[in-house]
Structure 1
Amino acid sequence: MSNHVLDTVMESAERIAALGPANEELGRLDDRAVKVMREAGVIRLLQPKTYGGFEAHPREFAETVMKIAALDGSTGWVAGVVGVHPWEMAMADGRVQDEVWGEDPDTWIASPYAPMGVLRPVDGGYVFNGRWQFSSGTDHCRWIFLGGMLGDAEGKAIMPPTQFHVILPRSSYEIVDDSWDVVGLKGTGSKDIVVTDAFVPDYRVLPFAKVSDGSAAREAGLTNTLYHVPFSQAFPLGITAAVIGTAEGALAHHLAYQRNRTQITGTKIKDDPHVLYAVSEASAEISASRTALIDNICRFYDQAEAGRRSTFEERAAGRRVQVQAAWRAVRAVDEIVGRSGGNGMRMSSPIQRFWRDAHMGLVHAIHVPGAVFHASALTNLGVEPPMGPMRSMI
């Protein structure tokens, strides 16, 4: 059962936390951290039961990601990003599901979904080319989802673009080493991917429009409510959960550090009302972020359970909640880090790593508030947002 996944993870909590520096040093997850997640079945939470998955409620998925990220931001991030891919794979052609999971249900699938490749139609499928950034956890994955656009006979993208999610085995793409040199989430190993003239059978290509509007799940005959939650709510869930969990980890380390700390003035932190106020306020903000994210996904799940498709206005509001939850949590981390003193910023202190990881997670494209907030505000005013970027990922 899926509850067992989190229980198993927490049995190895100290080991996951202790591997944080090693993940950062390696620039990818340490194999020992991956082993813990595989044995616990973390990445199978949203996987179909027919292939050894748990088909868990998305709330359980989010809570598991948060717990892992509170132990180590990079490990939680990979759990959240890689963990959502089985959800979409459930909508793919049965032939590619067999190829991915037939022999090993613990096969991990990477991404990214950004449409940075072009599909040139040929007999039986496509020839695919492109380069992508930010393939989190990719060293530990044997398949990948890559975003692509339909091209013409010369391999040039046709405008306006028609987007696809393209599924490739490890033999069809290159991972670019030394392409992940960043300030935070170093352990995610989110490296570049290059595809050169790879043949892709047509059954390994999913039209993004069908994934986005829910028709892919319906056409696949999926009956579990899990797979009828909107993509625009399911995909960001693991990413934002990782950011909030990282904020919870920062808070935990801050509290442990401050518990017996005496400031240079001779005042103990437990006697400083200003610091105590900031700690309490930050705790409340991070807790509110967690509650908002979980309540949000539960509402969309309940809608799907009732057989009702969500409106654009509802999805825009849902994305607004998700984006704001991430920003609220990271702002709270800034408040407590600003009161951690110089010693709290030593590289030997985990506080600074969680702080960097939280900010790196916040800059992911799904946390950019501009278009999301704009679209949501227009719908509140009863104005339909124009087609184009303002509706992207809503």
Structure 2
Amino acid sequence: MGRVLDRIEVVAEEIRGQAVQSEADCRLTDAAAGLLRDSGAIRLLQPRLYGGYEVHPREFAETVMGVAALDGASGWVTGIVGVHPWELAFADPQVQEEIWGEDNDTWMASPYAPMGVATPVDGGYVLKGRWSFSSGTDHCQWAFLGAMVGDGEGGIATPSSLHVILPRTDYQIVEDTWDVIGLRGTGSKDLIVDGAFVPGYRTLNAAKVMDGRAQKEAGRPEPLFNMPYSCMFPLGITAAVIGITEGALACHIAVQKDRVAITGQKIKEDPYVLSAIGESAAEINASRVSLIETADRFYDKVDAGKEITFEERAIGRRTQIAAAWRAVRAADEIFARAGGGALHYKTPMQRFWRDAHAGLAHAVHVPGPTNHASALTQLGGEPQGMMRAMI
């Protein structure tokens, strides 16, 4: 069948063609989601047992970048919804069968942020809460949601949190909660859960997912499913941002080929513009290479049966965050030199620029705590609290 990215390239113009309507609708159009579904993009990290491809993380990242360079929202959904099958692979086999048993193209939404409370009851939990930023949620039939464990009296029983898995019938999508300046087509709406029962087998201990114990306890020997969560979850998000900047660069180059400045000089004869294009292209490519290099190195180490240390994970996250910021700064440099025509809504350049900045606002791209943690660890310290978050 060939690579998923090859199939994406065949329908590239169709994906591009849906971008304007997706943005207007504040969600991916059914046609856009259908193109991703038919390509198999969301099954890249899915177990082969359920029709997935179990690809190397590099191929996942490259595919997300390829989609995002066509349409930022489609790439973002590919990166976020596409990582959920990776986690489901080490959830209880019963919930895997519930989700994929009849349709291995069933999609799952999120977010993982613990915005709800799961109160223990016989056989599981009762879940209540409201979650923001559920990307691609209109096209998903299940959701991974983060929740703190409650004490039954309105408080938090322990500092631990869960990833709970719910069917669409157990949560409400709140319309008109995604009217934003960038990544509009992702449809990242709010979800509400009001007292749904969650069987125990539909939960994962979030701390164990983060440190790799959940994967080991599930008995998954494959290197893919033993990659660090702090590499795999940000991988799709940052790959989308880098792909978006690659799309911006492609738009910029296409326009500049024939553009003439108000002085009458052809842009391709302006050494300052040429220098800016060359430097920005190099920076965006450096972002791509650094992100993929970390995934490659971690995979090779896991494949050899070795552990990824906290220090390595922290440095990997630092590299991933820096890659996103570097790429968006490079996109700023070319956008500032694209001319007034790039400001028009009828041009895709402005949409790529807005999408890139919106993607940079995601929590996985906050540099402070991770930079602090990585440096402190390298100096022999032991980061605590928020400094260990998402590492």
Runs of 4+ in 1 over 3 A off after TM superposition: none
Aligned mates of 2:326, 2:220 — CA distance in 1: 35
Aligned mates of 1:158, 1:324 — CA distance in 2: 36
Shift of 1:381: 1.8
Look up the SS of the partner of 2:180 in the other structure.
Answer: coil
Residue-by-residue CA offset, 1:18-75 (whole Å, 9 max, x unaligned): 1110110111001111111111111000000111111110100000000000000000
Aligned mates of 1:27, 1:336 — CA distance in 2: 27
Report whether the alignment pairs 1:54 with 2:75: no
1:124 counterpart residue number? 123
Aligned mates of 1:354, 1:255 — CA distance in 2: 14
Please give the TM-score of this superposition, normalised by the length of structure 2.
0.99
Residue-by-residue CA offset, 1:103-137 (whole Å, 9 max, x unaligned): 00000000000001101111111100000100000
Is the contact made by 1:143 and 1:167 (CA closer than 8 Å) also made in structure 2? yes
Look up the SS of the partner of 2:130 in the other structure.
Answer: strand
1:216 counterpart residue number? 214
Please give the TM-score of this superposition, normalised by the length of structure 1.
0.98
Look up the SS of the partner of 2:318 in the other structure.
Answer: helix
Aligned mates of 1:280, 1:158 — CA distance in 2: 55
Aligned mates of 1:37, 1:136 — CA distance in 2: 14
Aligned-partner residue type, residue 89 of structure 1: L
CA RMSD of aligned residues (A): 0.8
Aligned mates of 1:136, 1:328 — CA distance in 2: 24
Aligned mates of 1:48, 1:215 — CA distance in 2: 19
Is the contact made by 1:138 and 1:191 (CA closer than 8 Å) also made in structure 2? yes
1:340 counterpart residue number? 338
Aligned-partner residue type, residue 95 of structure 1: Q
2:386 counterpart residue number? 389
Aligned mates of 1:257, 1:310 — CA distance in 2: 44
Residue-by-residue CA offset, 1:183-234 (whole Å, 9 max, x unaligned): 1000000000100000001110100111111111111111210001100001
Aligned mates of 1:311, 1:102 — CA distance in 2: 36
Aligned mates of 1:69, 1:153 — CA distance in 2: 44
Look up the SS of the partner of 1:340 in the other structure.
Answer: coil
Is the contact made by 1:28 and 1:186 (CA closer than 8 Å) also made in structure 2? yes
Is the contact made by 1:119 and 1:155 (CA closer than 8 Å) also made in structure 2? no
Residue-by-residue CA offset, 1:224-254 (whole Å, 9 max, x unaligned): 1000110000110000000000000000000
2:286 counterpart residue number? 288
Aligned mates of 2:11, 2:375 — CA distance in 1: 44
Aligned mates of 1:240, 1:134 — CA distance in 2: 16
Report whether the alignment pairs 1:240 with 2:233: no
- Out of 154, 163, 175, the residue aligned to residue 177 of structure 1 is 175
Unpaired runs of 5+ in structure 2?
A: none
Aligned mates of 1:119, 1:113 — CA distance in 2: 13
Aligned-partner residue type, residue 361 of structure 1: G
Size of the alignment, in residue pairs? Answer: 391
1:6 counterpart residue number? 5
Is the contact made by 1:211 and 1:217 (CA closer than 8 Å) also made in structure 2? yes
Look up the SS of the partner of 2:262 in the other structure.
Answer: coil
Aligned mates of 2:46, 2:347 — CA distance in 1: 36
Look up the SS of the partner of 1:162 in the other structure.
Answer: strand
2:328 counterpart residue number? 330
Aligned-partner residue type, residue 28 of structure 1: R
Residue-by-residue CA offset, 1:53-98 (whole Å, 9 max, x unaligned): 1111010000000000000000000000000000000011011001
Look up the SS of the partner of 1:71 in the other structure.
Answer: coil
Report whether the alignment pairs 1:96 with 2:85: no
Shift of 1:157: 1.8
Look up the SS of the partner of 2:146 in the other structure.
Answer: strand
